[in-house]
Amino acid sequence: DGGITQSPKYLFRKEGQNVTLSCEQNLNHDAMYWYRQDPGQGLRLIYYSQIVNDFQKGDIAEGYSVSREKKESFPLTVTSAQKNPTAFYLCASSQTGASNEKLFFGSGTQLSVL
Partner 1 sequence: GDSVTQMEGPVTLSEEAFLTINCTYTATGYPSLFWYVQYPGEGLQLLLKATKADDKGSNKGFEATYRKETTSFHLEKGSVQVSDSAVYFCALINTGRRALTFGSGTRLQVQP
Bridge pairing between strands 87-94 and 104-105: antiparallel
Q: In this chain, which of 29, 33, 68, 74 binds partner 1, going by CB under 8 A?
A: 33
Residue 71 or 80: the one with the smaller Cβ distance to partner 1 is 71
- The bridge status of strand 10-13 relative to strand 109-113 is parallel
Q: How far is the CB of 7 from partner 1 (least distance, A)?
A: 13
Cβ burial 66-99 (10 Å sphere, 16+ → b, else e):
bebeebbebbbebeeebeebebebbbbbbeeeee
Q: Which of 10, 14, 15, 41 binds partner 1 (CB under 8 A)?
A: 41
By CB under 8 A, tell whether 1 contacts partner 1. no
Residues binding partner 1: number (CB under 8 A): 26
Handedness of CA 11, 62, 28, 70 (dihedral sign): negative
Question: How many angstroms separate the CA atoms of 76 and 73, rounded?
Answer: 10
Q: What does the per-residue mask of binding to partner 1 show for 44-83, with x meaning CB under 8 A?
A: xx--x-x-----x-x-------------------------
Cβ at position 26, least distance to partner 1 in Å: 15
Cα gap 74→66, rounded to integer Å:
7
- Given the rule CB under 8 A, which residues bind partner 1? 4, 6, 31, 33, 35, 40-45, 48, 50, 56, 58, 90, 92, 99-103, 105-108
